[in-house]
Amino acid sequence: MTAEGVETIIAARGLTKSFRVKGGETVHAVRGVDVTVCRGEAFGFLGPNGAGKSTTMRMVACTSPRTGGELTILGRDPDTDGVAIRDRLGVVPQQDNLDEDLTVRENLYIYARYFGYPRAYCRAKAAELVEFAQLTDKAEARVSQLSGGMQRRLTIARALVNDPDVLLLDEPTTGLDPQARHVLWDRLFRLKQSGVTLVLTTHYMDEAEQLCDRLVVMDGGLIAAEGSPAELIAQYSTREVVELRFTPGEQAAAEDAAAALAARVEVLPDRLLLYTDDGDETLAAVTAAGIAPLSALVRRSTLEDVFLRLTGRSLVD
């Protein structure tokens, strides 16, 4: 508990979750996940829809009992100590579930009351978090009068009423415009700086790269890879990528010629991705080989490329 960066906040070993759906069929949403999250870390679950990210998060949030495996959060077992663990968690669900009957300020106040704090403390906390969410002008407005980005900020602020040790964010910026996303990332980064452990799911690679110290790539209820964004890129991709865009269908004709020029080639419906350590050199070779794409782009590898390599599919369909 004293050594820096090694205090374990969340530990999962062989964690599984199965649902029985009507008709007797069993859906295995999480098939055996091992993760360890340490205090102060920003940890991400990256994966496409249906990978088991949200289900894992709900088990960590103690709102969904696990089917099998071991799970310890803040040193406790969610099966027996759910209420005590939730007392120390902040939860931002995928869908905002703010209290539509109440104002912005009342939402924060009553949520703090749910945690059992005295009234005066809750009023002070609500005032503080209205500021944090940058909703001072809207403090007395109903939730339904807020924009999507504002509602999201309020949901995040609401998750902070109990000064949580861990903040769980399920797709925090899905459905927001780029500007609103950047405002949120700024808020989350501040929280991280103040020492809050962040655990988030996302299917946006840029979000994972911006916020996460470490992440796991999930696919089909399993962990496909684990590491820091830089480590994952180094391990599963090359330094640079040459993207060649073609009229859909014509990229196949250039595939064989391109394969000789790069360490690896991915074929997408309208593009060829050439994985290489020197993009400019490869692009020159492409031109020399007589391949004529509609457009060409040299860029650095991202987590999207890691995901493509690991699963053969894109992150966002």
Partner 1 sequence: MSRDADMTMFAAAGAAGKAAPTGQGIPERESARTSSYSVVSRPGGGLVGRIIPVRMYAGRSRVMLERSLLTTRTIKWTLISGFFEPLFYLLAMGAGMGSLIGTVEGPTGPVAYAAFIAPGLLATSAMNGAVFDSTTNVFFKLRYAKTYDAMLATSLGPVDVALGEIGWALGRGATYAVTFEIVMLAMGLVHSPWAILAVPAAVLIALGFAAIGMAVCTFLKTLQHLDWVTMSLLPMFLLSTTFFPLSVYPRAAQIVVEAMPLYHGIEMVRALTLGAVDWSMAGHVAYFLAMAVVGVWVTSRRLEKLLLT
**Interface ranges with partner 1 (CB under 8 A):** 1-2, 7, 19, 39, 61, 63-65, 74-76, 79-84, 86-89, 91, 93, 95, 97-102, 106, 110-111, 113-118, 120-121, 124, 162-163, 165, 195
- Nearer Cβ to partner 1, position 116 or 312? 116
**Hey, how many other C-beta atoms are within 10 angstroms of the C-beta on 267?**
14
- Nearer Cβ to partner 1, position 7 or 213? 7
- Nearer Cβ to partner 1, position 73 or 306? 73
- Nearer Cβ to partner 1, position 39 or 309? 39
- Nearer Cβ to partner 1, position 77 or 270? 77
Distance, in Å, from the CA atom of 237 to the CA atom of 257, rounded to the nearest integer, reads 21
- Nearer Cβ to partner 1, position 113 or 264? 113
User: How distant, in Å, are the alpha carbons of 29, 274, 277 from that of 243?
Assistant: 34, 6, 14
User: How distant, in Å, are the alpha carbons of 9, 162, 276, 280, 316 from that of 60?
Assistant: 11, 17, 39, 45, 25
Q: How far is the CB of 34 from partner 1 (least distance, A)?
A: 23
Q: How far is the CB of 275 from partner 1 (least distance, A)?
A: 42
Q: How far is the CB of 149 from partner 1 (least distance, A)?
A: 19
Q: How far is the CB of 116 from partner 1 (least distance, A)?
A: 5
- Nearer Cβ to partner 1, position 164 or 229? 164
What are the structure tokens assigned to 251, written together? 């990229």
Q: How far is the CB of 53 from partner 1 (least distance, A)?
A: 17
Q: How far is the CB of 169 from partner 1 (least distance, A)?
A: 12
Q: How far is the CB of 136 from partner 1 (least distance, A)?
A: 20
